[in-house]
Amino acid sequence: MAYFERTGETCWTPTRHVGGAWDVDEQHVAPALGLMAHLVEADRDRRREDGLVLTRLSYDILGTLPMDEVSVEVHVRRPGRTIELVEAVLSHAGRPGVVLRAWLLGSGDTAAIAGTDLPRIPGPDEMEPWDPTSVWPGGFIESVDVRRDRQAPGRGSYWVTTDVPLVDDPVSATARAAALLDIANGMTVRADPGEVAFPNLDLTAHLFRAPATGWLGFDTTVSFGPSGHGLTSTVLHDEAGPVGTIAQSLTVRPKLT
């Protein structure tokens, strides 16, 4: 069973694997972000044959999504021969829930100057398995395998993978990775989510190379400010090393007892 099943030309229904962490009756937004990236790539492939590459994924999360059918529309906002800006809007019952603005770039040979000083993290075989359901409920959290090295509250590195396909169609490694990105805000929490709510309002990923299929690595720092605002910052890895970064804006709300 995949995360989403197609139920119309532009419509998709979440399966039990999409159940949320803050509320199990709502969708965890992570699979939806992957679905949108996949549909941007599918739209690209219908329009052109040169395979422009997703290098930035900027999502605004406009509200919660029930465990119900959603629709996704994709539009090119800035067409170009080697650079495109594409927008995807995921809606429920006509109400937009997530907006993605993605930059797609043409490829060239820069292997001779490729490199990064972003630090690597130990590989998945060097970290202990960790059960994320010890902190979070929901079908999505149950669907992933995690290996983690937690250094302090709000600070840690970890690897995530899943055997659940995003959809029944072939999916790129980038879209598959996009379906896991939003997990970053919950894998090394700074505060007990039973006492403090800290959902993210957005997620922006910048990629300087496409991640490989397999384990996806995260090197994450969660920061809370003094006025109810927060930031989850992550360097993203595959097993060959860093591939990009993620940032998530947080609204931090102590729960009333």
> pLDDT tens across 109-132, in order?
999 999 999 999 999 999 999 999
Residue 234: CB atoms within 10 A of its CB come to 25
> What is the pLDDT confidence band of residue 257, given thresholds at 50, 70 and 90?
low
d(CA 196, CA 192): 6
> What per-residue confidence (pLDDT) applies to 256?
77
Q: What is the pLDDT of residues 129-187, one digit of tens each?
A: 999 999 999 999 999 999 999 999 999 999 999 999 999 999 999 999 999 999 999 99
The residue that leads in pLDDT, 255 or 81, is 81
Q: What is the pLDDT of residues 182-229, one digit of tens each?
A: 999 999 999 999 999 999 999 999 999 999 999 999 999 999 999 999
Instruction: Please give the radius of gyration of the chain, using alpha carbons only, rounded to the nearest integer.
Output: 18
d(CA 52, CA 218): 25
Q: What is the pLDDT of residues 37-86, one digit of tens each?
A: 999 999 999 999 999 999 999 999 999 999 999 999 999 999 999 999 99
Domains parsed from the chain with CATH numbers: 4-105+123-254 (2.40.160.210)
Section 7-34 average pLDDT: 98
Helices (H), 79-128: none
Q: Which residues of 197-214 are buried (b: 16+ CB within 10 A; e: fewer)?
A: ebbbeebbbebebbbeee
**Res. 102: pLDDT tops 70:** yes
> What per-residue confidence (pLDDT) applies to 239?
98
d(CA 246, CA 206): 7
Phi-psi region of 163 (alpha: psi -120 to 50; beta: other; left: phi over 0): alpha
d(CA 55, CA 245): 11
> What per-residue confidence (pLDDT) applies to 255?
87
> What is the enclosing helix (H) or strand (E) of 173?
helix 173-178
